[in-house]
Amino acid sequence: MWRLLACLCALAACQGPSQVASSSFGTSITTAPPAASSSGTTGDSMSSSSSSSTTSTGSGEDSAASGAGSTTWILDVGTEQDVESPQPAGCKGKIDFLFVISREAAILQHQAKLFAAFPEFIDTIAAKFADFDYHIMVVDADPPGYWGADFCEAQCPMLEGSCAGIDYPCDYTPTACDMTMGAGTTFNAGLNAANKPCDLASGHRWIDRDQPDLSGTFTCLAQGGTSGGLWPGAAVAAAVSPELNAEGGCNEGFLRDDALLMVTIFASYDVPTDSPGKPAEWAQAILDAKHGDKDAVVMFSFGDLTCPPADRICDLVLWYFPYHHMADRFGTDYGPGFDVATDLVETACSAFIPG
């Protein structure tokens, strides 16, 4: 349907303002309904681009994403936001930031750029959302029952080889939540990981605004290393599930009905042989967690902007929620991507009206 409408729009030469940001840092894809921000397009349409002049097209099992060279076609189908109405203070001052960060070996070359951008991202949160009550939770993309690194566990207690020089925590016994897919991370172990527990002042598996050394703690949680799995789609769905967020669940207290939810995914490609389920199912889990309100969610990822056919994370981020942004995983600086994403959060807050 969207392809047909986009083609009709192109035939009618209805080109609008481009929403594909290009710079020395790479390109990005940003979409939001009309209303309030220069960083979004209208309706549920998506605009995309690659840094070359050729056109790349990718389609997953549930949807397709297309890229164009130097032009972007904008389709305005109209939304209820075309009619101005009084809005409450953005999101009632509450935002839940969910990060799903893969511990796969293939992501190692990009992790340094992610860590380098964290202080800037934290500074952006502190500046833009100084008066907000925010939660920040980091989840890995490991399958159920997995923690640390199996090959290092096999060498405990007499570590040798590559595990000997990383101070692997052989004396630590993982908890049930440590090994639950979608549970907030508090301790990463393995090659290139923090290999130490992260001190969370909240008493939960997520950070709140009272966390000392916010940037350092966030980096500790995110430094998952390269000894894990690649189930980011399933991990997102599990992280927002009623089971984990209910009283007594691993993520108890993180997800709030009256808070905007921003989901950030950092992984390579969740191909059909990785996570169980499909993008439509993962998106439905997120939508169910926000009681059917698409305006309550902002999707963000660092990805491959060509959206290859097997890239189901591209599908999940770009096709199911009106507010989304994808920054170039192959760019040199991740800071601008975070900045655009938080601009989009501000825009979404103006539309999200908690019940």
pLDDT in tens, 93-133: 899 999 999 999 888 888 889 888 988 888 888 888 888 89
**Cα dihedral sign for 254, 255, 260, 266?**
positive
Mean pLDDT score of the chain: 79
Q: Per DSSP, what are the bridge partners of residue 68?
A: 49
**CB pairs under 8 A, 24+ apart, for 148-155?**
148/174, 148/189, 148/190, 148/227, 149/189, 149/190, 149/191, 149/193, 149/225, 149/227, 149/228, 150/227, 151/227, 152/189, 152/190, 152/191, 152/227
The segment with the largest mean pLDDT, out of 108-117, 138-147, 151-160, is: 138-147
pLDDT of residue 341: 92
Per the model's pLDDT, the better-predicted residue between 199 and 21 turns out to be 199
pLDDT in tens, 288-336: 999 999 999 999 999 999 999 889 999 999 999 999 999 999 999 999 9
pLDDT in tens, 29-84: 887 776 543 333 333 333 333 332 222 333 444 443 333 332 222 233 334 444 34
